[in-house]
Amino acid sequence: MLENIISELEKQFQLEAVDHNSSDLVFLTIDRDHAVMAIDLLKWKFGYKHFVLLTAVDFLEEGKFQLTYILNNPDTKTDIGVRVRIDREDANMVSAHHLWPTVATYQRELKEMFGIDFPGSPRLNDPFILEGWEGTPPYRRDFDTKAFAASFYHQREGRTTNDPATYMKEKLYPNE
Amino acid sequence: MSKKEFFPMDGDRTKYPEIKSDGTADIDLSSHKYIKLWHGPNHPGITGNMAVELTLCGDEVVEGITHVGYLHRGFEKLMERRKYIQNFPLVCRIAVPEPDYNEYNYATCIENLTGIDVPEKGMWLRTLTLEMARLQGFLMWIGGMAGAIGFGTVGQWANYCRDLVLDRFEELTGGRIYHIYILPGGVRNDIPEGFKDRMEKNLREIEGFMKDIRRAFFDNYVFKKRSVGVGYIDPAWVFDYGIVGPNARAAGFKHDIRKNYPYAKYAELDFEITTAKDSDIYTRAFLRFEELLKDIDLIRQILDKMPEKGDHISKVSNMMNLKIPAGETYVRSECTRGEYGYYLVADGSEYPRRVNVRGPSYTHGVALLEKMLVNVNIADVAQLMVSLHTYPPEIER
């Protein structure tokens, strides 16, 4: 079943990689400009109408983001993961909110957490989880969590222990 | 009964607010026709710490915007900095009332990518904990649903019943809320002696309470009057808005991952998918009640069919420094709210490259809720939210 769909896709798009995870889950990589068209085809022609998730994976050392769209066909009970590699420096992708309204929420989160732009996606720049965030988007791998925590939060001093008898004496009768 | 009477809030929106050419509502706050009201983040009718920014025209909601982030702890980011095994105490906190689904999905992702086998008894014990998690999750939800519209006593009964299940969790795993019981290769402990009898005693007590809850709550005129015909989910929205679980089944979509994609030992259990068609708050509530009763039956089946002897976990060498070959996988399971999924990307190191959690609340609590809030009466907002059964940490994980 999945082999037929992949061979159909290969006729229309150049698939950069196809990885069979199991008999009912396959991941394939398509170039940025054709990915949403392939997703459109998978939804309307091949019945992958359940949009499972959209997320990004940061391959910092390669200078790339991988966007993964997982689509499910509830009739054939199979899943296809569509992977797209985009440049980290110019991180933008064609929006897919016209296919499922709920995709806009995922894209809004990716804009905030990874700094990936989806031109035309509704309410893309509205704060989602963070409010008033400036600087490197926090889910990028080059975001220094330790430095952020050190600069943003007040560092508490460590605990001190006192001898109870001496402590109470000094507290209650400081002049004696 | 005419449609107008049955769906009283499906009213005429032509007067206020006017709809602009881009499809959004033209809300001019200075016209004094509208007021802004923040519903949450601390409100008895809110499911956890999230807020809804409501715009009201009289007592009718014309716009609702979900605000999350009050519980954001950056789980997915934290997981990238920890070894695979170190993430188990983290993942369970993503859905507090049902931590076991996080443990199961995360452990299964690791098993898929490494080829670690789970022994027969380990699988049965996983199935048992997952069903117990569903049972106590539904019981807690009944408490929230009843509380949202003023049935506090029913909420107390349901939470007492949940405590009985938590007692058994404590006996089985050592923890009441967070269990950290499911590990790659199986589960942490075997079932204690006499567990089955004690569980049976608890299940009978819960069944007794369920008869009372049905009479006091689900057959109650006030509850029916407030929930029938309110909060309608159109079956056509199911795929557009990623609606899963009881919310989709109440709209007639016959889909249950336990049945359609059998995992653990569900293929050996006898149960049918519960569906309904009216798709309003009452239908969703009653469907969850029916699923709760089925969960009781499933726990009995699991305890009857589980082998007495056998390993509960396979031997995995050097789990602390486990390295997973480069690859990716997606694992799903059916929690009380629907499809719960984990997408894990490994890069060959001791740390995950990326873990993404697909919680049902992500779609239910944002896009769907914002759509459903329009034209709802302000008094129905709380029960509408609870009827979608959202957990905010799943949205902002």
How high is the pLDDT of residue B204? 95
Kindly state the helix (H) or strand (E) to which residue A37 belongs, with its residue range: helix A32-44
3-state secondary structure B110-159: HHHHHCCCCCHHHHHHHHHHHHHHHHHHHHHHHHHHHHHCCCHHHHHHHH
Neighbours of A59 (CB within 10 A): 17
Reduced to 3 states (helix: H, G, I; strand: E, B; else coil), residue B62 is strand
Between CA B81 and CA B208 the distance in angstroms is: 47
pLDDT band (50, 70, 90) for residue B123: very high
How high is the pLDDT of residue B134? 93
Domain contains B306: yes
Neighbours of B314 (CB within 10 A): 14
Domain contains B6: no
Q: Which of A51, A57, A145 is the closest to B345 by Cβ?
A: A57
Kindly state the helix (H) or strand (E) to which residue A108 belongs, with its residue range: helix A103-114
Domain contains B228: yes
Residue A149 predicted with pLDDT over 90 = no
Q: Which tokens belong to B314?
A: 């396979």
| Residue B175 exposure: Cα atoms within 13 Å on the Cβ side | 17
Closest listed residue to residue B377, CA positions, set B29, B112, B39: B39
> Is A51 close to B239, i.e. CB distance below 8 A?
yes
> Is B354 close to A55, i.e. CB distance below 8 A?
yes
Between CA B228 and CA B223 the distance in angstroms is: 8
Reduced to 3 states (helix: H, G, I; strand: E, B; else coil), residue A66 is strand
How high is the pLDDT of residue A166? 87
Domain contains B64: no
State how many domains chain A has: 1
How high is the pLDDT of residue A117? 93
Q: What is the pLDDT of residues B346-362, one digit of tens each?
A: 998 999 999 999 989 89
Domain contains A100: yes
Torsion of CA A126, A130, A136, A137, to 10 degrees: -70
How high is the pLDDT of residue B47? 65
State how many domains chain B has: 1
Closest listed residue to residue B77, CA positions, set B365, B384, B357, B366: B357
Q: What is the pLDDT of residues A97-127, one digit of tens each?
A: 999 999 999 999 999 999 999 998 888 888 8
> Is A129 close to B366, i.e. CB distance below 8 A?
no
Q: Which residues in B lie closer than 8 A to residue A145 (C-beta atoms)?
A: 74, 77, 81
Q: What is the pLDDT of residues B203-212, one digit of tens each?
A: 999 999 999 9
Residue B299 predicted with pLDDT over 80 = yes
Chain A (146-175) residues lying within 8 Å, Cβ to Cβ, of chain B: none
> Is A22 close to B112, i.e. CB distance below 8 A?
yes
**Range(s) of the domain holding residue A146:** 2-155
How high is the pLDDT of residue B46? 60
CB A111 within 8 Å of CB A133: no
pLDDT band (50, 70, 90) for residue A68: very high
Work out the mean pLDDT of chain B and round it to a whole number: 88
Name the burial class of residue A155, with classes exposed (0-12), middle (13-18) and buried (19+) by CB atoms within 10 angstroms of its CB.
Answer: exposed
pLDDT band (50, 70, 90) for residue B32: confident
Please report the sign of the dihedral spanned by the C-alpha atoms of residue A149, residue A152, residue A153, residue A155.
positive
> Is A102 close to B260, i.e. CB distance below 8 A?
no
Q: Which residues in B lie closer than 8 A to residue A49 (C-beta atoms)?
A: 239
ipTM: 0.88
Q: Which tokens belong to B248?
A: 């989709």
pLDDT band (50, 70, 90) for residue B16: low
How high is the pLDDT of residue B129? 94
CATH number of the domain residue B183 falls in: 1.10.645.10
Q: Compare B9 and A150 and report the one with higher pLDDT.
A: A150
Q: What is the DSSP pairing of strand A78-87 with strand A25-30? A: parallel
How high is the pLDDT of residue A132? 82
How many residues in chain A? Answer: 176
Three-point CA angle B358, B361, B363, nearest 5°: 80
Q: Which residues in A lie closer than 8 A to residue B342 (C-beta atoms)?
A: none
Residue A152 predicted with pLDDT over 60 = yes
Chain A: closest CA distance from residue B176 (Å): 29
Reduced to 3 states (helix: H, G, I; strand: E, B; else coil), residue B306 is coil
Domain contains B66: no
> Is A102 close to B240, i.e. CB distance below 8 A?
yes
Three-point CA angle B3, B4, B6, nearest 5°: 60
Q: Which of B50, B244, B256, B366 is the best residue to mutate to test the A interface, defined by the most A CB atoms within 10 Å of its own CB?
A: B366
Between CA B336 and CA B133 the distance in angstroms is: 8
> Is A55 close to B343, i.e. CB distance below 8 A?
yes
Domain contains A57: yes
Q: Which residues in B lie closer than 8 A to residue A70 (C-beta atoms)?
A: 330, 341, 343, 358
* Cβ–Cβ contact A102 with B under 8 A: yes
How high is the pLDDT of residue A133? 86
Q: What is the pLDDT of residues B222-244, one digit of tens each?
A: 889 888 888 888 898 899 898 99
Closest listed residue to residue B366, CA positions, set B384, B387, B390, B342: B390
Q: Compare A155 and B378 and report the one with higher pLDDT.
A: B378
Residue of B nearest to A49 (CA): B239
Domain contains B296: yes
> Is B255 close to A74, i.e. CB distance below 8 A?
yes
CB B108 within 8 Å of CB B101: no
* Interface list for chain B against chain A, based on CB atoms closer than 8 Å: 68-69, 72, 74, 76-77, 80-81, 112, 239-242, 255, 260-261, 327-330, 332, 339, 341, 343, 345, 353-354, 356, 358, 362-363, 366-368, 371, 395-396
How high is the pLDDT of residue A9? 86
| Residue B316 exposure: Cα atoms within 13 Å on the Cβ side | 25
Residue B330 predicted with pLDDT over 90 = yes
Between CA B346 and CA B344 the distance in angstroms is: 6
Give the 3-state secondary structure percentages of chain B, helix then strand then coil, rounded to 5: 50, 15, 40
Work out the mean pLDDT of chain A and round it to a whole number: 89
> Is B330 close to A131, i.e. CB distance below 8 A?
no
Please state, in angstroms and as integers, the Cα–Cα distance from residue A35 to each residue in A108, B32, B75, B378, following that order. Answer: 19, 47, 29, 42
The mean pLDDT value for A35-59 works out to 92
How high is the pLDDT of residue A158? 81
Residue B8 predicted with pLDDT over 70 = no
Closest listed residue to residue A52, CA positions, set A116, A102, A107, A96: A102
How high is the pLDDT of residue B244? 92
CB B195 within 8 Å of CB B168: yes
Q: What is the pLDDT of residues B167-199, one digit of tens each?
A: 999 999 999 999 999 999 999 999 999 999 999
How high is the pLDDT of residue B298? 94
How high is the pLDDT of residue A20? 83
Bridge partners of A92? A117
Q: Which residues of A21-36 are buried (b: 16+ CB within 10 A; e: fewer)?
A: beebbbbbbbeeebbb
CATH number of the domain residue A96 falls in: 3.30.460.80
Domain contains B262: yes
Q: Which tokens belong to A162?
A: 């006192």
The mean pLDDT value for B144-158 works out to 88
How many residues in chain B? Answer: 397
Domain contains A169: no
DSSP H stretches of helix in chain B: 3-6, 75-80, 88-91, 99-114, 120-148, 152-173, 195-213, 221-227, 237-240, 245-249, 257-260, 281-305, 360-363, 369-373, 381-388, 392-395
Q: Which of B49, B249, B328 is the best residue to mutate to test the A interface, defined by the most A CB atoms within 10 Å of its own CB?
A: B328
Q: What is the pLDDT of residues A139-148, one digit of tens each?
A: 999 998 888 8
- How far, rounded to the nearest angstrom, does the alpha carbon of residue A112 sit from its chain's CA centroid? 10
Domain contains B304: yes
Percentage with pLDDT > 90 across chain B? 51
> Is B330 close to A74, i.e. CB distance below 8 A?
no
How high is the pLDDT of residue B283? 93
Q: Which residues in B lie closer than 8 A to residue A21 (C-beta atoms)?
A: 112, 327-330
